[in-house]
Structure 1
Amino acid sequence: MLILFVCLALGILCRRYANLPDGIVPGINWWVLNIALPALVLGLVPHVTVDPHLWFPVAAMWITFFGSWALFATLGRLFHWSAQRIGCLTLVCGLGNTSFMGYPMMEALHGKAGLSVAVIADQLGCFPLLAAGGIIVASMYSGKGASGAMIAKRVLTFPPFLCLVVGVIVGVLGGWPAAVDKLLMQIGQTLTPLALFSVGLQFKLHLQKDQIGALVAGLGWKLVLAPLIALGLGLAAGVGGVILTVGVLQAAMAPMISAAILADQHGLEPRLANTVLGAGILLSLVTIPLGNLLLPA
């Protein structure tokens, strides 16, 4: 867990005190999304043991997203929130930081077995929801349109998703040669320090008085209520062990950075999005390890 805190703190300190080159954040994120994450997916997926309960971490992501949409649409009507606020909370509290923070945290807590389940939750659960559902929500609540062709193109051309498909095929065929497997994992290991450093560089916390209610509602759903619902579903379905624990913890992960960026791009209360993101990251560094202690694995 130490690397999580150190890299996050380094990012925050460098953002405040260092003379950083222009474009450093997009550059780091490009490497993480297009090189490190695909390599990690290619390295891990062939080793995933097929388990009939692997549907659960994916379902937990879908429950988190669609439950968020239903909850904040309802609260919006009750409290007369703007469409922008409803869309903002749906995005940032319905989509978790299941890769940049989820991968290193699950590896720290549950080793490569936990990391493999985290990849399934992220690539089959959270990413398709971002690429399709996130675009739809952002377009609806900002008044813009989103075509089916654009959504399909975004999903099918995303490098980690393509690598997930390749990884499944390679796993069925028997896996990579040892040298290739080692190379992929070494490249993939750059994800954790760079991703957390990038999170630190982008960290913001701007709290305004009129945002307190929305902030509490948003993080109450993302960090507490959504994972509890996912836990209830898993226990009712007989899911257990690392699959149950990682699925619940991924549902409880801090808000997704990309979701906050999407909210910003569509004018969905960017200041609130960054507030929820920053507070969620800080709180999740406490709530995730605490939740892990209370879960079965």
Structure 2
Amino acid sequence: MQFMGNLLLIIISFTAGFLLSKLKHFPKNSHKGINAFIFYISLPALSLRYIPEIDYNIEIIFPVIMPWLVFIFGAVFFITIGKILNWSKQLIGCLVLCCGLGNTSFVGFPLLELFYGKESIRYGILADQPGSFMVMSTLGIFAAVYFSNGKANWKQIGIKIFKFPPFIAFIIALFLSFVEMPTLVNFTLEKLGATLSPLALFSIGTQLKWKSEFLELKPIGIGLLYKLGLAPLVIYLLYLPFTDSSGLVFKVSIMEAAMAPMITGILLAIEYKLKPNLASMFAAIGIPLSLLTTWFWYLLMN
């Protein structure tokens, strides 16, 4: 039921954004206000709610480092392909952000529960919060600034990272691990964090333009081939000698690596004008396609 509910929420939020943006009186650039709420409220709330509850032990290293490996391998892969195909820095940056980051929570959590039950969610949170979320807040913002400017201004990049609201919230959340949060505060943070996915999907939908000149099949194909196929394969081969292939740690790590492009990564690409129309296509195509490809990985490991 939860899986179908989340799937329906994806469809409604995304479609509503796309259709409403076509109305004559729909406010132009409304996505900027929505994105500001996401980056300043929704994402920090998620970090403050869940990171303090992480149980730190040696077992968490595998789901935690998975998103870092996927992003780094993805950056190397897309930069190499981009040089071979003579892509612009903006196009390379778009693929690094959209396909180097995975949707390990909103799409990931219900799929994990569907495949492996509720117990798998605790490993999913590790892949998402100190994993994908932290990668997005550091390497993600680094890539966004670098590829949008076309040069490495280390001072500017450093300032952007340390001023990025989700990163600040992440640092605060680490210290809150030693504090017992009141139930009312946790409830409020949960509700604020729950706004992330519908608002992000709505925002992306408002900026989606279904025109043939935006449907760049080669970048889309290469990007999704990496995110849905090569990325989980790399993690599978790397983790197989070191973890129990029948255990949840291994299976959750592979499944989370196979998830669709991260909505927030797509928003970053859009915010920094890294092929925004192409970026929105990764949500429109990648999320539905991932519902099929994750079944392949599930069958492979069972």
TM-score range, shorter chain: 0.7 to 0.9
One-letter amino acid of the structure 1 residue matched with residue 70 of structure 2: T
Q: Please, which of 141, 146, 155 is the counterpart of residue 136 of structure 1?
A: 146
Post-superposition shift, 1:52?
1.3
Could you tell me which of 215, 222, 234 is aligned with 1:217? 222
Q: 2:196 aligns with which of 191, 201, 213?
A: 191
Post-superposition CA distance 1:220-263 (Å, at most 9, x none): 11111011111222232326744434433333232344544555
The amino acid of 1:218's aligned partner reads: G
2:101 pairs with 80, 92, 95, which one? 95
User: Any gaps of 5 or more consecutive residues in structure 2?
Assistant: none
| Aligned residue runs from structure 1 range 169-248, under 5 A | 169-173=175-179, 175-206=180-211, 211-238=216-243, 241-248=247-254
* Alignment match of 2:167 (pick from 152, 161, 164): 161
Alignment match, 2:55: 49
Question: Separation in 2 of the partners of 1:98 and 1:77?
Answer: 29
- Find the aligned partners of 2:276 and 2:166 in 1 and give their Cα distance: 27
Distance 1:160 1:243, change over 3 A: farther
Q: Say if 2:135 is the partner of 1:125.
A: yes
Query: Structure 1, residues 13-63: CA drift from partner, whole Å, max 9, x if none?
Result: 323444444454333333333223222221212221112133333432222
Amino acid at match of 1:66: I
Which of 116, 125, 147 aligns to 1:116? It is 125
Aligned to 1:249: 255
Asked if structure 2 preserves the Cα contact closer than 8 Å seen for 1:98 and 1:126, the reply is: no
Kindly indicate whether residue 85 of structure 2 is the aligned counterpart of residue 75 of structure 1: no
Which residue does the alignment assign to 1:5?
Answer: 7
* Bigger Cα displacement from structure 2, 95-104 vs 245-254: 95-104
The unaligned stretches of length 5 or more in structure 1 are none
SS at match of 2:55: coil
- Amino acid of the structure 1 residue aligned with 2:285: A
* Paired residue type of 2:5: I
Q: TM-score, normalised by structure 1?
A: 0.78
Kindly indicate whether the alpha-carbon contact (under 8 Å) linking 2:207 and 2:277 is maintained by their aligned counterparts in 1.
no
- Contact 2:108 2:256 survives alignment (8 Å): yes
CA distance, structure 1, for counterparts of residue 87 and residue 137 of structure 2: 27
CA contact (8 A) 2:16 2:202 kept: no
Is the CA contact 1:45–1:168 (under 8 Å) kept in the aligned structure 2?
yes
Give 3-state SS (helix, strand or coil) of 1:53's partner: helix
- Note closer, same or farther for the CA distance 1:6–1:189 as it changes in structure 2 (3 Å cut): same
Pair 1:12–1:269, CA change in 2 (3 A): closer
Quick check: 99-108 or 10-19, which moved more?
99-108
User: Which residue does the alignment assign to 2:293?
Assistant: 287
| Distance across 1 between alignment mates of 2:199 and 2:220 | 28
Q: Residues 148 and 84 (structure 1 numbering): CA distance in 2 closer, same or farther, change over 3 Å?
A: closer
Aligned CA RMSD, in angstroms, stands at 3.4
8 Å Cα contact 1:38-1:163 kept in structure 2: yes
**Superposed CA offset, 1:140-197 (max 9, x none):** xxxx334222222222222222222222222234x21333333322333333443444
**Deviation larger for 44-53 or 146-155:** 146-155
Corresponding residue for residue 38 of structure 2: 32
Report matched runs for 1:264-279 at 5 Å. Answer: 268-279=274-285
For residues 201 and 288 of structure 1, the distance between their equivalents in structure 2, rounded to whole angstroms, comes to: 27
Question: TM-score if structure 2 supplies the norm length?
Answer: 0.77
The 8 Å contact of residues 128 and 155 in structure 1, kept in 2 or not, is answered as yes
Q: Quick check: 209-218 or 227-236, which moved more?
A: 209-218
The alignment covers a number of residue pairs equal to 291
Report whether the alignment pairs 1:150 with 2:160: no
CA separation of 1:271 and 1:179: change in aligned 2, threshold 3 A: closer
